[in-house]
Amino acid sequence: MNDLRSFEIREGHTKNARYFKGSIEKQKLTNTLDYYGFRIKCIHDFTINLRTEKESSLYLCVNLADKSSLQMTCGTSVTSVPSFASALVPFKNTETISFDCKSHKDYDFLLLKIEKSDLDQDQTELLERLQHEGALIASSNIPKILTPNLGMCEVSRKLKDIDKTLCENKFIARGYSNILIGLKLKELLNGEHFQTKMAYLRNFEIQQLELLTEKIKVNPQQQYAIKELCKQTGLSVSKLQMGFKEMHNCTVAIFIRNVRLEKALEMLRNTDLNVSEIVYSVGLTSRSYFCRVFKKRFKCSPKSYQQQLKVPNTLAS
């Protein structure tokens, strides 16, 4: 039942023009893993409530909104999840979990619900230790400092964008979900070291990194110079490179090269262009260099890959 105070999330996509514009998505990826995706602009104040049996589930929340913090309540504990940050809610605090959404604000976040039965003994013991040490949300009365994690944001966007109704994509979605949980645990285990490492980036700078990433993905054929990218984003060379290493685990140049290789792979599959034409189409100028890095990345030369595509049932992937 829906009212201004409470909103029920049903399976599939939920739209409600009375309370918000946008959509709320719920998908069951496995019997023990549920996905919730939120991309909404609120018209009125309302609360999203989720209920579960105490100590049966673990929740991971990732806030992808560039301006709106996310107000999350676990039992009697209230936590603010800043932009680009995430929160892991332990088993003992998941009997009730809710999000307060304010009118005229945009929200973009995801929530993963993992049943405790899905974890092995080592994973359970690690989470219980982190909970005992007060590293998790609501584990103690001390407010947690939640730090932006660009790597988690990048994986979260991939998870949100994939069509999870398709059977084959559910396998990919499960993989992204597991990566997110692993990245969050890694963040928690690194503790103060991770917080110190990420303190150098402000929200505006993170937004610029996000915009630049999308620009490169859409236009890989353009020529990009580090000095010009710094001028466009307002970032120093060190912040630009460190930001890309956090978000993509590589330098700007390697990221551009990888995007071009993915685009070339797509063109080999879906066009009749020859290798030389594809090289120039993705923004490279040397065919020999392209063939070398393509083979290193995909363990197959572009010419061989293209020839195998022409012969039915010879290419496994």
**How many whole angstroms separate alpha carbon 143 and alpha carbon 87?**
12
Is the residue at 247 inside a domain?
Answer: yes
Is the residue at 4 inside a domain?
Answer: no
Q: Same structural domain for residues 186 and 268?
A: no
Return the higher-pLDDT residue of 177 and 141: 177
Counting the structural domains of the chain, the total is 2
Is the residue at 244 inside a domain?
Answer: yes
Q: Same structural domain for residues 113 and 180?
A: yes
The predicted model gives 220-224 an average pLDDT of 94
Q: Same structural domain for residues 240 and 169?
A: no
pTM of the predicted model as reported, rounded to 2 decimal places: 0.76
Q: Same structural domain for residues 263 and 114?
A: no
State the pLDDT at residue 190: 83
Q: Same structural domain for residues 190 and 209?
A: no
Q: Same structural domain for residues 53 and 135?
A: yes
The predicted model gives 213-235 an average pLDDT of 93
Report whether 242 contacts 203 (CB < 8 A).
Answer: no
**How many whole angstroms separate alpha carbon 307 and alpha carbon 309?**
5
Is the residue at 228 inside a domain?
Answer: yes
| pLDDT of 4 above 80 | no
Listed residues 165, 198, 231: the one ending a domain: 198
Report whether 54 contacts 40 (CB < 8 A).
Answer: no
Among 254-263, 264-273, 297-306, 308-317, name the most confident range.
Answer: 254-263
DSSP string, 68-113: --EEEEETTEEEEE-TT-EEEE-GGG-SEEEEEE-TT-EEEEEEEE
**How many whole angstroms separate alpha carbon 31 and alpha carbon 28?**
7
Q: Same structural domain for residues 112 and 223?
A: no
Domain that holds residue 127: 12-198
Is the residue at 105 inside a domain?
Answer: yes
With 0-12 CB in 10 A as exposed, 13-18 as middle and 19+ as buried, what is 129? exposed
Is the residue at 2 inside a domain?
Answer: no
Range with the poorest average pLDDT among 3-12, 173-182, 268-277? 3-12
Listed residues 198, 219, 244: the one ending a domain: 198
Q: Same structural domain for residues 261 and 279?
A: yes
Q: Same structural domain for residues 124 and 209?
A: no
Listed residues 182, 198, 214: the one ending a domain: 198
DSSP string, 149-215: -HHHHHHHHHHHHS-TTSHHHHHHHHHHHHHHHHHHHHHHHHTHHHHHHHTT--HHHHHHHHHHHHH
- CATH code of 299's domain: 1.10.10.60
DSSP summary character for residue 45: -
Over residues 74-122, the pLDDT tens digits come to: 877 888 999 899 998 877 666 778 899 898 999 999 999 998 888 888 9
Q: Same structural domain for residues 128 and 260?
A: no
Q: How many CB atoms lie within 10 A of CB 250?
A: 14
Is the residue at 3 inside a domain?
Answer: no
For the chain, what is the mean pLDDT? 84
State the pLDDT at residue 19: 79
Return the higher-pLDDT residue of 212 and 190: 212
- CATH code of 149's domain: 2.60.120.10
Strand, helix or coil at 231?
A: helix
Report whether 114 contacts 60 (CB < 8 A).
Answer: yes
Phi and psi of 48, rounded to 5°?
-95, 120
State the pLDDT at residue 68: 83
Is the residue at 91 inside a domain?
Answer: yes
How many Cα neighbours within 13 Å face the side chain of 266? 10
Return the higher-pLDDT residue of 316 and 280: 280
Q: Same structural domain for residues 79 and 159?
A: yes
Residue from 190, 194, 57, 188 nearest 134 by CA: 188
Alpha carbon 214 to its chain's center: 14
Q: Same structural domain for residues 174 and 213?
A: no
Phi-psi region of 18 (alpha: psi -120 to 50; beta: other; left: phi over 0): alpha
